[in-house]
Amino acid sequence: MRGANPTFLQFAFVWLTFAVLCGGGCARETQMVKWEADFYYTEQLYVDGQYQLAVERYRALRKSAKFEQDADEAALMDCEVQARAKEFAAAATCYDVLATVAFDPQVRVRGLLHAGELRYYELGKKVQALKLFSQTIERFPNATASLRVLDHLYLHAKNVVSDRAPMLVLFARLEKANPLSEIADNLLLRSALLLELDNTKVSLARAVQLLEQHDKLHHDEATLLDVLMTRARCLKELGRFKEEAEVLEQVVGTYETSYMFASYAGEDHKIATRRLIDLYRKDPLKNLERAEAHARHLPVMLRHPLDLPKMMIVIAEIQEERGDLSGAIATCRELLATVKARQKRMIQEDQRICAESGSAQEQANCRSEIDKFVPIDPREVSAAAATIARLQARTQLKTGSSR
């Protein structure tokens, strides 16, 4: 080999090494692609209702999986297919096994969850199911699926009054064991909701205490709005209106909006604002200026033109109650102008659509239909006109008497 080219020999060695490595890698890649293809084919068998064959193939796929995640997915589908085939007892047992042998802790939680659901809703073994549910939260208080487990426990106690007291004890024990877990805020909220259902002074007061505890420990959690609204309802039933108003003000304070992208006002914000308007219009919290401020803010949150006249009437009423007759008249006139402008815009839009309707004859027919249109005033229009006339008469009478 004295005359051989060293560069060529080096190149040949590198190429051979690459080929060997690629050969192994390509084989692994081919094997992985084949497993995925088999998985999707088995899924089609499941969709087509060939349950027995799908179960057999999922079990084979679980054994041949090279990755733990894939093995868990195949095992989950094995149990799911049996449940879909209405083999509920077999499916429950399948989930029991999965809860023990799955590699991923989240999958073990799902196994416990589904095993409990099948026993509760399909097999009529509610005592066993409730025990599984409580064990799931005890073992996995930070798992995502545990919130769904908690929902099952809450709904059971909501519907079965005799089990409500033991469930409250269970929730208290679970919350105390892990006061900062991912599910602790929901344990406090669900406990308060169950106490609210009992609707006694003692239960409502206890609910308020739990919700105040939530406010201290979990103020930034996603449950905050539900907690505040539940607390406000309980305070209302207890006649603690000042505290109720303070809580509702917190609810309104969580309102956010972006006029560029979207409005983030939820139904709770609107309910809270309407209740605050009522609270501030009468004793013992009478504060007409605050009531008017909320009444003016509500249309911003509603962002719904059909609701605007209703709120403008409320604003005019509050202004009259405050003795601001000229302000009430101006609000009613603004209401009439707003409705008229909206109707005008609608007609203009109809005319634009007619102009884009196609042939001259089609446009003429369209305009003919528009000409028949008679705007229907909302009932607030007549109320506003009557208010203007009444308040103008009062103003003139007041001016005349002052002279």
- Per-residue confidence (pLDDT) for residue 63, from 0 to 100: 93
The pLDDT tens digits of the residues spanning 174-202 come to 999 999 999 999 999 999 999 999 999 99
pLDDT of residue 156: 97
Give one word for 256, left, alpha or beta, with left for phi > 0 and alpha for psi -120 to 50: beta
- The pLDDT score that the predictor gives to residue 221 is 86
Residue 79, Cβ neighbours under 10 Å: how many?
A: 26
pLDDT at 403: 52
Does residue 382 lie in a domain region?
yes
Is 168 a domain residue?
A: no
Alpha-carbon torsion (290, 295, 300, 302), positive or negative:
positive
All residues at 6 or more sequence positions from 291 whose CB lies less than 8 Å from its CB, including other chains:
276, 277, 280, 281, 318
pLDDT of residue 33: 81
Residue whose pair of structure tokens reads 């998985």 in the numeric block: 39
In a domain, 322, yes or no: yes
Contact call for residues 208 and 220 (beta carbons, < 8 A):
no
The string of pLDDT tens digits covering residues 221-268 is 889 999 999 999 999 999 999 999 999 999 998 886 554 445 566 889
Q: Let me know if residue 270 belongs to a domain.
A: no
- The structural domain count of the chain equals 1
Q: What is the pLDDT of residue 16?
A: 41
Angle at which helices 308-321 and 325-355 cross, to 10°: 170
For position 25, what pLDDT does the model report? 46
In a domain, residue 279? The reply is: no
Q: Would 355 be classed as within a structural domain? A: yes
Contact present, 123 and 154 (Cβ < 8 Å)? no
Backbone dihedral angles phi then psi of residue 256, each to the nearest 5 degrees:
-130, 155
* 178, part of any domain: no
Q: Is residue 211 part of a domain?
A: no
Query: Which domain range does residue 323 map to?
Result: 306-403
Mean pLDDT per 10-residue section of the chain, whose length is 403 residues = 43 42 49 82 90 93 92 95 96 96 94 97 96 93 93 97 96 94 95 97 98 92 93 98 97 71 72 96 96 89 75 96 96 95 90 89 89 86 96 80 56
